[in-house]
Amino acid sequence: MCGIIGIVGQTPVAPRLIESLKRLEYRGYDSAGIAAFENGRVVRRRAEGKLRNLEAVLQSEPVQATVGVGHTRWATHGRPSERNAHPHQAGRVTVVHNGIIENFAELKAELAGQGRSFESETDTEVVAHLIDSELKAGKPPVEAFKAALDRLRGAYALAVIIEGETQLVLGARHGPPLVVGWGQGEMFLGSDALAVGPFTNRVSYLHDGDYVALDAQGARVFDGTGAEVSRPPKQVSSSAAVMEKGNYRHFMEKEIHDQPEAVQHTLAAYLDPVRMRAEAPDGFDFSTIDRIQIVACGTAYYAGVIAKYLFERYAGLPTDVEVASEFRYRSPALSPRTLAIAISQSGETADTLAALRHARAEGQKIAVVVNVPTSSMAREADRLWPTHAGPEIGVASTKAFTAQVSALTALVIAAAGKRKKVDGNEQARMVRLLLEAPRLIAEASEAEDEVRAIAYDLSKARDVLYLGRGAMSALAMEGALKLKEISYIHAEGYAAGELKHGPIALIDEQTPVIALAPYDELFEKTQSNLQEVGARGGPVIAVTDRRGAPHLSSTARLIIAPEADPLIAPLVFAPAIQLLAYYTAVHKGTDVDQPRNLAKSVTVE
Ligand code: F6R
């Protein structure tokens, strides 16, 4: 979603706002803007499109100031344009906002009735007007801010400056996260720790409902009732270094190649390579539950579907998986011996967070498999099961996905052990297999030459089908999602056996079919499905291993992945589908790291 930064500093603020926005560009990049106090007046610079456009504006119209706010936008209300770019202003008030004000239409009508006029199509502008009207009614700044907050419904993080209050930045959190950064004689407000990372690593996480007043000396934080509260700062690790692309052309390419390390770091939290045992980091006893309910969105959801196959197959543990946006709005039948697991890279996805809260309200215990240990989900769950993928910047998730699948696979082994589905020897064998995964993922990422050539042809396609069986059907869906996201080619993933029940009608010479076909117990079935495709003239690409290759070489173009036990095959086959999507997008010349219409962390419904 949108990125927010606010600075009460001592040195020129414009370059600092830009530096921070560069780190936040992964959240949204359809327009950007800043506002700051220049000689006591608020000046504003905004530009449609990427941040470099705002930088160009600032070059021709520089801003001399030390206090200000900045924003990078992912449009919700109002199309991307300079007019709709934040900051938004009304009277003395200037606002940047992440989230959605649900009752904005009602508030706008009321404010318009008072003679106020609006210059943008955004929901944010009503917030500026509300605060301004409270100021006009005579309230001091913090009270005016609180009175306006009390009128808002929806999810929001806000940063606000007020003309006449040149050393003050106000912030509020209702839903999306907001952090306060503590400097030496200067203070910062950001939509996450990355935003304030260039200036400080001492960070307080605001709680839901908090609002805050910052000046150069510190922060006064109030909870939703208006009571002053303490949110002591924590030391966070410096993330500046890991955010470089190195020699790679895109973050996504780097992150695909980071996967062996991401998986290895993650597994270190779950596997004991001396005793050859797997355990949840908090020692959770899976024999105390009868069922698992997984909730997640997008790529994290597909990691959950893979986990379902594995939990049921190896641990005999019934597992349901549901997209969070559906789960939160129905009445799932949950039993007391169910463990709810939310899976999320960011730990902030609004739908997943709401599903987690929904499950909690239904009396469930909650575990989260999450990559950001300081995120809302990590803080709200009963059990934190981390992935250690490091910051993921490319909008299309890669290393966070394999880190999730590896953590979940380790939990499957732990569950199989605790539930006595496997003996000590079998558990040791499974742990050994999983410990091999980082090496095999590295080997899988070397198939780049074949992948690049095939991707060139894929880049000409209009539609692509992905097929797989078992856990590979979930990876097929993830492959289709990756291709859609970054190359804008329409793609669907199917369980291979479903093809004949409808999708086969789509097959013609122009519709490539990508099969994920490890040489396992279902290989022959998939092979037959591919023959059905070939018979209808569809070009077939098979991702298989050395044992499967001779059986498919006459029907398909091949990408060879390392041979892998079914326990780890989804991990080992993942780089092939990620690289295929990546090189297809590169051939098409799309914006790989910041594809159109998407944002990294989706903190609205
Ligand atoms: C796809 C992608 C998204 C996310 C989804 C959930 O490449 O990145 O589908 O997986 O928005 O995000 P998190 O994992 O942060 O909850």
Residue 602 Cα: closest atom of ligand 1: 11
| Ligand 1 pocket, residue 298 CB under 6 Å | yes
Residue 395 Cα: closest atom of ligand 1: 8
In angstroms, what is the span from residue 301 Cα to ligand 1's centroid? Answer: 8
Cβ 36 vs Cβ 43: under 8 Å: yes
**Cα separation, 524 vs 509, whole angstroms:** 24
Cβ 336 vs Cβ 363: under 8 Å: yes
Q: Which whole number is the average pLDDT over 344-372?
A: 94
pLDDT in tens, 419-459: 999 999 999 999 999 999 999 998 998 888 889 999 999 99
Residue 59 has pLDDT above 70, yes or no: yes
Alpha carbon of residue 13 to chain centroid: 29
How many Cα atoms within 13 Å fall on the side-chain side of residue 356? 27
In angstroms, what is the span from residue 351 Cα to ligand 1's centroid? Answer: 11
Q: Which whole number is the average pLDDT over 289-293?
A: 96
Q: Which one of the listed residues 146, 308, 482, 600 is annotated catalytic? A: 600
Residue 335 has pLDDT above 90, yes or no: no
| Ligand 1 pocket, residue 297 CB under 6 Å | yes
- Among protein residues, the one with the nearest Cα to ligand 1's atom 6 is 297
Strand partners, 311: none
pLDDT in tens, 511-553: 999 999 999 999 999 998 888 888 888 899 999 999 999 999 9
| Ligand 1 pocket, residue 352 CB under 6 Å | yes
| Ligand 1 pocket, residue 299 CB under 6 Å | yes
In angstroms, what is the span from residue 105 Cα to ligand 1's centroid? Answer: 30
Same fold, 256-436 and 446-588: yes
- Among protein residues, the one with the nearest Cα to ligand 1's atom 11 is 298
| Ligand 1 pocket, residue 601 CB under 6 Å | yes
Q: In sequence order, which ranges of 41-102 are alpha helices (DSSP H)?
A: 51-60
Q: What is the pLDDT of residue 193?
A: 83
Q: Which one of the listed residues 2, 365, 399, 484 is annotated catalytic? A: 2
| Ligand 1 pocket, residue 289 CB under 6 Å | no
Q: What is the pLDDT of residue 243?
A: 62
Which residue shows structure tokens 């936040």? 24
pLDDT in tens, 216-236: 999 999 999 999 999 999 887
pLDDT in tens, 186-202: 999 999 888 998 999 89
What would the two tokens of residue 393 be? 């910047």
Of 74-78, 164-168, 276-280, the range with the lowest mean pLDDT is: 74-78
Q: Which whole number is the average pLDDT over 373-386?
A: 93
**Cα separation, 191 vs 28, whole angstroms:** 12
Fold type of domain 256-436: Rossmann fold (3.40.50)
| Ligand 1 pocket, residue 371 CB under 6 Å | no
- Among protein residues, the one with the nearest Cα to ligand 1's atom 3 is 298
In angstroms, what is the span from residue 601 Cα to ligand 1's centroid? Answer: 7
CB within 8 A of 64, min separation 6: which ones?
12, 38, 39
pLDDT in tens, 572-584: 999 999 999 999 9
Q: What is the pLDDT of residue 188?
A: 98
Q: What is the pLDDT of residue 405?
A: 98
- Among protein residues, the one with the nearest Cα to ligand 1's atom 9 is 298
| Ligand 1 pocket, residue 166 CB under 6 Å | no
| Ligand 1 pocket, residue 603 CB under 6 Å | no
CB within 8 A of 449, min separation 6: which ones?
none
Banded model confidence at residue 78, pLDDT cuts 50, 70, 90 = confident
Banded model confidence at residue 76, pLDDT cuts 50, 70, 90 = confident
Residue 175 has pLDDT above 90, yes or no: no
In angstroms, what is the span from residue 280 Cα to ligand 1's centroid? Answer: 23
**Cα separation, 56 vs 498, whole angstroms:** 52
In angstroms, what is the span from residue 457 Cα to ligand 1's centroid? Answer: 27
Range with the largest mean pLDDT of 257-266, 324-333, 356-365, 466-475: 466-475
In angstroms, what is the span from residue 346 Cα to ligand 1's centroid? Answer: 8
- In the chain, what are the domain boundaries? 3-241, 256-436, 446-588
Residue 500 has pLDDT above 60, yes or no: yes
- Among protein residues, the one with the nearest Cα to ligand 1's atom 8 is 397
Q: What is the pLDDT of residue 176?
A: 81
Residue 381 has pLDDT above 60, yes or no: yes
Mean pLDDT computed over every residue of the chain: 93
- Among protein residues, the one with the nearest Cα to ligand 1's atom 7 is 396
pLDDT in tens, 80-139: 899 999 999 999 999 999 988 989 999 999 999 999 999 998 999 999 999 999 999 999
Tell which residue, 214, 142, 136, 169, has the closest CA to residue 35. Answer: 169
| Ligand 1 pocket, residue 349 CB under 6 Å | yes
Q: What is the pLDDT of residue 482?
A: 98
Q: What is the pLDDT of residue 241?
A: 41
What's the burial of 550, exposed, middle or buried (CB within 10 Å: 0-12/13-18/19+)?
A: exposed
- 446-588: CATH class: alpha beta
* Alpha-carbon dihedral sign for residues 544, 550, 552, 556: positive
| Ligand 1 pocket, residue 344 CB under 6 Å | yes
Residue 242 has pLDDT above 60, yes or no: no
Cβ 187 vs Cβ 146: under 8 Å: no
- Among protein residues, the one with the nearest Cα to ligand 1's atom 10 is 299
**Cα separation, 72 vs 32, whole angstroms:** 4
Tell which residue, 246, 250, 257, 258, has the closest CA to residue 592. Answer: 250
Fold type of domain 3-241: Glutamine Phosphoribosylpyrophosphate, subunit 1, domain 1 (3.60.20)
Residue 400 Cα: closest atom of ligand 1: 14
| Ligand 1 pocket, residue 300 CB under 6 Å | yes
In angstroms, what is the span from residue 230 Cα to ligand 1's centroid? Answer: 32
In angstroms, what is the span from residue 411 Cα to ligand 1's centroid? Answer: 21
* pTM for this model (two decimals): 0.77
Strand 169-174 relative to strand 154-162: parallel, antiparallel, unpaired? antiparallel
Q: What is the pLDDT of residue 239?
A: 53
Which residue shows structure tokens 């993928």? 389
Best mutation site among 397, 478, 578 for ligand 1 pocket (most ligand atoms within 8 Å of CB): 397
In this prediction, what percent of the chain has a pLDDT beyond 90?
77
Residue 385 has pLDDT above 90, yes or no: yes
Best mutation site among 345, 356, 593 for ligand 1 pocket (most ligand atoms within 8 Å of CB): 345
In angstroms, what is the span from residue 383 Cα to ligand 1's centroid? Answer: 21
Asked if 2 is an active-site residue, the reply is: yes
